[in-house]
């Protein structure tokens, strides 16, 4: 077990002037489950591969524990990696796949068998040890790849989108198994995904990247409640946060036919930047349907998703002369008809305020 440190680590691919990863600064605690998340091309897989030794580091350094591993080959870093495509040897049995790295390292056969059987028990793979990968389902193959990493007892697990080849139900089941397994083993884990739901449900902390730059690193709940900027606000949460640019008025912002009060610090921050408007963020669950047609914002219902216990209304509204898409979560007993007009009012204490000019969070 060990800490992992990215100290202004930078990767610039040959032929490119723009860094794929730009001065990444992260301190990962011993035994922590850290998730890197972001859209395609944000630098999350490159960051993982830099830690694994599969990509050169062009600036800064990377440490595992007290060792500077910036320029060490992968085999000397004491890491184990789980890939998206499993990377199993098709001609070997499950047991041979799981124990192959130990065999190469010269570990005695009886020790290899004991370690493989212990990992197989943890992963419910005991009945499959003599099968070849082609006789396994996708979820079973992924567990074999996990088992191969476990038997090595590395200081750090690296996982690069390990669930992306699984169907939706199996993904939910397997992510629960991986998170539980990591907590049981206590091995520092760096996990890459593009799925923000996966990130929020699995990580002790979540790192959001965009264009190679660190946007925010925080516990999942705090990131959901206090996104650092417009990008994080729009990326974290499913469905996404509603982001609406609205004019500043006395004591708050003009939201449709209502004036909604916002924090004094947020208003002062906007005024100090010379902004006449701010961008407010409101999560779908923080919009209430009002029975008063003169209150709030009129939303025309375009699509309704009924989910049983509740539902989501996807609609459009006129905001400051422009048409804006909005998402509203509603209770199962208050689902509106498609084409209807509803009036929504935000929870004043659940409004996020961002600078329209810089995108940074304003206020607390």
Decide: 21 and 50 in contact? Cβ < 8 Å: yes
pLDDT in tens, 315-331: 999 887 788 999 999 98
pLDDT band at 354 (very low <50, low <70, confident <90, very high): very high
Residue 278 has pLDDT above 80, yes or no: yes
pLDDT in tens, 10-58: 999 999 999 999 999 999 999 999 999 999 999 999 999 999 999 999 9
Q: What is the pTM of this model?
A: 0.90
Residue pointed to by tokens 């499993």: 86
Mean pLDDT over each residue of the chain, to the nearest integer:
91
Collapsed DSSP state (helix, strand, coil) of residue 198: helix
pLDDT band at 71 (very low <50, low <70, confident <90, very high): very high
pLDDT band at 247 (very low <50, low <70, confident <90, very high): confident
pLDDT band at 357 (very low <50, low <70, confident <90, very high): confident
The β-bridge partners of 61 are 7
pLDDT of res. 318:
86
Distance of alpha carbon 90 from alpha carbon 96, whole angstroms = 10
pLDDT in tens, 126-177: 999 999 999 998 888 988 998 999 998 899 999 999 888 888 888 888 888 8
Residue 108 has pLDDT above 80, yes or no: yes
Collapsed DSSP state (helix, strand, coil) of residue 96: helix
The predicted model gives 273-285 an average pLDDT of 88
Distance of alpha carbon 40 from alpha carbon 35, whole angstroms = 15
pLDDT of res. 42:
94
Residue pointed to by tokens 């925010």: 216
pLDDT of res. 57:
96
Residues in CB range of 232: below 8 A, 6 or more apart: 208, 215, 216, 223
pLDDT band at 296 (very low <50, low <70, confident <90, very high): confident
> Which candidate, 240, 238, 196, places its Cα nearest to that of 220?
196
Domains and CATH numbers, the chain: 4-234 (3.40.50.300), 239-355 (2.40.50.140)
Residue 251 has pLDDT above 80, yes or no: no
pLDDT in tens, 9-23: 999 999 999 999 999
The β-bridge partners of 246 are 278
Strands 205-210 vs 213-218: parallel, antiparallel or unpaired: antiparallel
Instruction: Tell me the helices (H) and strands (E) count for the chain, helix number first.
Output: 9, 20
Decide: 180 and 23 in contact? Cβ < 8 Å: no
């Amino acid at each position: 077990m060990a800490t992992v440190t990215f100290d202004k680590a930078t990767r610039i691919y040959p032929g490119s002037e723009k860094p794929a990863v730009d001065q990444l600064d992260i301190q990962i605690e011993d035994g922590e489950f850290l998730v890197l998340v972001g859209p395609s091309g944000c630098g999350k897989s490159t960051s993982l591969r830099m830690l694994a030794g599969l990509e050169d580091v062009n600036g800064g350094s990377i440490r595992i524990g007290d060792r500077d591993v910036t320029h060490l080959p992968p085999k000397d870093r004491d890491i184990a990696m789980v890939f998206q495509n499993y990377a199993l040897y098709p001609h070997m049995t499950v047991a041979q796949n799981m124990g192959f790295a130990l065999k190469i390292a010269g570990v005695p056969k009886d020790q290899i068998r004991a370690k493989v059987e212990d990992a197989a028990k943890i992963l419910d793979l005991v009945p499959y040890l003599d099968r070849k990968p082609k006789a396994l389902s996708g979820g079973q193959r992924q567990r074999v790849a996990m088992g191969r990493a476990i038997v090595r007892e590395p200081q750090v697990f690296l996982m690069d989108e390990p669930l992306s080849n699984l169907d939706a139900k199996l993904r939910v089941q397997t992510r629960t198994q991986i998170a539980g397994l990591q907590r049981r083993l206590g091995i520092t884990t760096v996990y890459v995904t593009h799925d923000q739901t996966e990130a929020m449900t699995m990580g002790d902390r979540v790192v959001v990247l965009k264009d190679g730059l660190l946007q925010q690193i925080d516990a999942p709940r705090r990131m959901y409640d206090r996104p650092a900027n417009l990008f994080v606000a729009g990326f974290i949460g499913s469905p996404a946060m509603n982001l609406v640019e609205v004019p500043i008025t006395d004591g708050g912002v003009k939201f449709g036919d209502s004036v909604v009060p916002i924090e004094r610090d947020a208003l002062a921050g906007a005024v100090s930047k010379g902004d006449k408007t701010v961008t407010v963020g409101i999560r779908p669950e923080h919009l209430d349907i009002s029975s008063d047609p003169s209150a709030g914002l009129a939303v025309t219902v375009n699509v309704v998703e009924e989910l049983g216990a509740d539902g989501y209304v996807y609609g459009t509204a006129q905001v400051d002369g422009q048409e804006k898409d909005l998402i509203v979560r509603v209770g199962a007993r208050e689902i509106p008809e498609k084409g209807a007009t509803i009036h929504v009012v935000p929870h004043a204490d659940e409004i996020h305020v961002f600078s329209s000019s810089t995108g940074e969070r304003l206020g607390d």
